[in-house]
């Protein structure tokens, strides 16, 4: 019988999670091409940054400095990141977390990933709509009520 899974409790756990996730993502038939062919991801350079991101979110250690959205916006300019790409990313992330960890921080890793994916996808869709005025999406003006 396998030992019960422990919760995420250290930077080493964050790095283990990130490496295991990218082990899946880089070879995934749905999103692997984004990392390999489009982003040309240097895993050894990327892992410490992303581990710092998760260490900051999950453990409260302020080791991540930087904006996570900008690289995704640049990537989206090369290949349109669709809802299905984010859904697959989330599926792989959840599966990886569940395989390696269990506990409050593991659940936070999954829920925070979902919030990030939804927010990034929404922001990218706004960028795809094109700038209008102060970079706002185009809105239709309609008249309601008596004329």
State pLDDT tens for residues 29-60.
Answer: 999 999 999 999 999 999 999 999 999 999 99
Provide mean pLDDT across the span 10-24. 98
Whether residue 98 is contained in a domain is answered as: yes
Whether residue 55 is contained in a domain is answered as: yes
Whether residue 75 is contained in a domain is answered as: yes
CATH number of residue 40's parent domain: 1.10.490.10
Domain that holds residue 35: 11-129
Whether residue 6 is contained in a domain is answered as: no
CA separation, residue 10 to residues 20, 29, 49, 56 (Å)? 15, 31, 15, 11
State pLDDT tens for residues 64-113.
Answer: 888 888 888 999 999 999 999 999 999 999 999 999 999 999 999 999 99
Whether residue 35 is contained in a domain is answered as: yes
Whether residue 5 is contained in a domain is answered as: no
Decide: 96 and 24 in contact? Cβ < 8 Å: yes
pLDDT at 2: 77
CA distance 100 to 23: 13
The total of structural domains in the chain comes to 1
Structure token pair of residue 41: 């991801």
């Amino acid at each position: 019988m396998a030992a019960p899974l422990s919760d995420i409790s250290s930077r080493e756990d964050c790095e283990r999670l990130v490496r295991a996730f990218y082990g899946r993502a880089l070879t995934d038939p749905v999103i692997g091409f984004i990392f390999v062919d489009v982003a040309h991801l240097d895993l050894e350079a990327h892992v410490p940054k992303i581990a710092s991101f998760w260490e900051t979110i999950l453990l409260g250690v302020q080791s991540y400095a930087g904006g996570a959205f900008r690289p995704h916006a640049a990537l989206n300019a090369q290949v349109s990141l669709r809802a299905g790409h984010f859904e697959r990313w989330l599926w792989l992330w959840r599966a990886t977390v569940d395989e390696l960890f269990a506990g409050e921080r593991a659940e936070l890793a999954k829920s925070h990933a979902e919030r990030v994916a939804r927010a990034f996808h929404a922001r990218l869709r706004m960028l795809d709509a094109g700038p209008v005025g102060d970079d706002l999406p185009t809105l239709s003006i309609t008249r309601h009520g008596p004329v």
